């Protein structure tokens, strides 16, 4: 393939729509009245409910039907073609949409009985430079698709990737709850998406040399371009800083995990719990077992410098000590902490020795179900019993038979091998048979 054919493959002008059609499409998309207005209202409600109940699917639905992309593309298009009348209309309609979104979401979160901030909501409160990249790439894809005769399903994909509606509703949550860091973080993310979708639109329109519909003097052009540069710069600078902070926190978390995995073993003690706080550069280690001497604690802390954790705050705490007096309160604490040890070791897949006697075998199903639930929520029942199986030669083989009830049998069957491996490790035996109802 020669260079001319290769260049032709990347030529987006070959499928370009007529300029008049593109102009009409952009202009129709900026208005919020009638159908668009009702769609906006429904999208706001759906996004608020999705954030409130932490449902990713519902939030994606809100992003798909949200008409907020229209006036943003209109702003970028009008700036690129110096159509200031269209820019004015885009700004007015965009301001109306933002005010409606903030007002409706604030009202919803004021009246809803569910006030907890879930992960989907928190994910919209800490924007960084990567959100700029997503918005810019999404805006480029959106305007290229809009300029093409073969639009496909790019616009809905851009709406999902850039996520305009959820951060606006998250800002409403911040207003309703008085959590100003949520409000400013979410609204900043919304601003990033708005500005860089518009900037991407401007770049592609200029690149494709769309016609300038009205005569504009050079001073107005320079003023418009200057304002675009200033707004883009002011928007991107904080995101670069937040991106730098994010990278530092990710690196700290990775180094801390490596340190905990390799250097925190203390003979005669179990590591019950480890907490990593990258924002405060702190690591908290909680042990159970024999009383840990200060020298042993310091030896663990000193090893942190080999993992680029200089300056990190590392605290080592004794959850319980077997050398303390065994008063009733201490015994209760020991039992509680021992149960935590067992649960954590099972979760991490380490080998547990089955301590239950044959008399307690009938309660094994209950114990296993309690440990399975966090890993496989679809499993609803668990029964365990010792069975003897005979082959054709009447040779006997003892098996621990496990019968699992599931609310999603297909999913549980797909996890059959993982379940079998988990049971073998948990029960320290290869003689396991699993039946799924």
Pairwise CA distance, residues 280 & 283, whole Å: 9
Q: What is the pLDDT of residue 233?
A: 87
Reply yes or no on domain 359-436 having CATH 3.30.300.30: yes
The backbone torsions φ and ψ at residue 373, rounded to the nearest 5 degrees and listed phi first, read -50, -50
Q: Is the dihedral of CA 402, 405, 408, 409 positive or negative?
A: positive
Please tell me which residue, 328 or 426, carries the higher pLDDT value. Answer: 426
Longest Cα separation, the chain? 99
Are the C-beta atoms of 64 and 159 separated by less than 8 Å?
yes
CA angle 18, 19, 20 (to 5 degrees): 95
Q: Which residue has the tokens 């494709």?
A: 208
For residue 417, pLDDT over 70 is answered with yes
Decide: 208 and 140 in contact? Cβ < 8 Å: no
CATH of domain 11-216: 1.20.1080
Is residue 25's pLDDT more than 50? yes
DSSP states along 12-27: GGGGBPPHHHHHHHHH
- Give the residue from 294, 336, 332, 331 showing the smallest Cα distance to 315: 294
Phi, psi of 401 (to 5 degrees): -95, 130
Q: What's phi and psi for 422, nearest 5 deg?
A: -65, -45
The three-state secondary structure class of 179 is: coil
Interacting residues of 171 by C-beta distance below 8 A, sequence separation 6+ = 102, 105, 182, 183, 186, 187, 190
- Residue 325 binned pLDDT confidence (cut-offs 50, 70, 90): very low
Calpha distance 252→112 (Å, rounded) = 38
Q: What percent of the chain has pLDDT over 70?
A: 82
Query: Considering the chain, what percentage of its residues have pLDDT values greater than 90?
Result: 0
Segment of 159-173, 207-221, 246-260 carrying the highest mean pLDDT: 246-260
Predicted confidence at residue 170, as pLDDT, reads 85
Higher-confidence residue of 220 and 230: namely: 230
- Retrieve residue 229's tokens: 């540069």
pLDDT bracket for residue 329 (50, 70, 90): low
Q: What is the radius of gyration, based on Cα positions, of the chain? A: 30
Secondary structure of 308-349 as H, E, C letters: CCCCCEEEEEEEEECCCCCCHHHHHHHHHHHHHHHHHHHHCC
Confidence of residue 154 (pLDDT cuts 50, 70, 90): low
Backbone φ, ψ for residue 428 (5° rounding): 55, 45
Ranges for all domains in the chain classified under CATH 1.20.1080: 11-216
Give CA–CA dist 355/358, Å, rounded.
10
| Alpha carbons 406 and 382: distance in angstroms, whole number | 9
Rounded to the nearest angstrom, the gap between the alpha carbon of residue 385 and the centroid of all alpha carbons in its chain is 41
Give the whole-angstrom CA distance, residue 219 versus residue 354: 82
**pLDDT, tens only, 338-353:** 677 766 766 655 554 5
Mean pLDDT lowest for which of 27-31, 327-331, 379-383? 327-331
Cα(73)–Cα(75) distance, rounded to whole angstroms?
A: 5
Residues 137-175 as b/e (b if ≥16 CB within 10 A, e otherwise) read bbbbbbbbbbbbeeeeebbebbbbbbbbbbbbbbbbbbb
Q: Give the SS3 label for residue 197.
A: helix
Task: Identify which of 149, 138, 147, 141 has the alpha carbon closest to the alpha carbon of residue 210.
Answer: 147
CA–CA gap between residue 73 and residue 319 (Å, rounded): 58
| pLDDT score of 331 | 54
The arrangement of secondary structure in 251-347, i.e. its CATH architecture, is: 2-Layer Sandwich (3.30)
What number of other Cβ atoms are within 10 A of residue 372's Cβ? Answer: 19
Q: At 401, is the secondary structure helix, strand, or coil? A: strand
d(CA 290, CA 281): 28
CATH 3.30.70 domain extents, the chain: 251-347
Q: Which of 271, 276, 101, 97 is nearest to 186 (CA)?
A: 101
Quote the CA–CA distance of 185 and 123 in Å, as a whole number.
Answer: 10
The 8-class DSSP code of residue 356 comes to -
> Where does residue 397 fall: left (phi above 0), alpha (psi -120 to 50 degrees), or beta otherwise?
beta
Q: Which two tokens stand for residue 416?
A: 């059959």
Instruction: Give residue 352's pLDDT.
Output: 45
Averaged pLDDT of the chain: 79
DSSP-derived secondary structure for 372-385 = HTTT-TTEEEEEEE
Q: At 8, is the pLDDT very low, low, confident or very high (cuts 50, 70, 90)? A: low
């Amino acid at each position: 393939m020669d260079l001319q054919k290769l260049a032709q493959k990347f030529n987006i002008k070959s499928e370009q729509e007529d300029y008049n059609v593109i102009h009409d499409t952009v202009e129709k998309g900026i208005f919020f009245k009638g159908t668009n207005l009702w769609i906006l209202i429904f999208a706001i409600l759906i996004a608020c409910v999705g954030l409130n109940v932490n449902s990713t699917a519902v939030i994606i639905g809100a992003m798909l039907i949200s008409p907020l992309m229209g006036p943003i593309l209109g702003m970028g298009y009008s700036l690129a073609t110096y159509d200031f009348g269209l820019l004015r209309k885009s700004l007015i309609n965009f301001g109306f949409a933002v005010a409606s979104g903030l007002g409706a979401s604030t009202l919803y979160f004021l009246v809803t009985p569910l006030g907890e901030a879930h992960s989907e909501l928190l994910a919209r409160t800490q924007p960084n430079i990567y959100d700029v990249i997503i918005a810019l790439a999404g805006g480029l894809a959106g305007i290229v698709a809009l300029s093409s005769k073969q639009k496909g399903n790019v616009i809905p994909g851009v709406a999902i990737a850039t996520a305009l509606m959820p951060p606006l509703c998250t800002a409403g949550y911040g207003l309703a709850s008085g959590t100003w860091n949520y409000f400013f973080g979410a609204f900043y993310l919304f601003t990033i998406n708005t500005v860089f979708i518009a900037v991407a639109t401007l770049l592609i329109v200029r690149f494709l040399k769309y016609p300038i519909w009205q005569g504009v003097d050079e001073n107005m052009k320079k003023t418009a371009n200057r304002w675009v540069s200033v707004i883009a710069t002011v928007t991107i600078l904080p995101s670069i800083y937040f991106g730098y902070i994010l990278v530092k926190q990710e690196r700290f978390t990775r180094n801390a995990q490596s340190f905990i995995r390799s250097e925190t073993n203390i003979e005669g003690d179990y590591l019950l719990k480890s907490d990593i706080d990258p924002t405060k550069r702190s690591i908290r280690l909680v042990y159970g077992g024999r009383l840990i001497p200060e020298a042993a604690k310091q030896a663990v802390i000193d090893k942190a410098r080999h993992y680029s954790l200089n300056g990190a705050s590392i605290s080592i705490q004794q959850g319980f000590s077997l050398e303390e007096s065994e008063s009733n309160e201490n015994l209760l604490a020991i039992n509680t902490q021992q149960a935590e040890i067992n649960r954590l070791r099972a979760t991490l897949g380490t080998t547990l020795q089955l301590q239950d006697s044959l008399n307690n075998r009938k309660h094994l199903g209950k114990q296993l179900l309690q440990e399975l639930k966090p890993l496989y929520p679809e499993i609803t029942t668990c029964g365990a019993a010792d069975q003897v199986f005979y082959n054709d030669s009447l040779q006997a083989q003892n098996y621990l038979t496990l019968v699992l009830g599931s609310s999603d049998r297909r999913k549980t069957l797909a996890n059959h091998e993982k379940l079998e491996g988990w049971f073998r490790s948990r029960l320290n035996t290869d003689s396991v048979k699993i039946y799924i109802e």
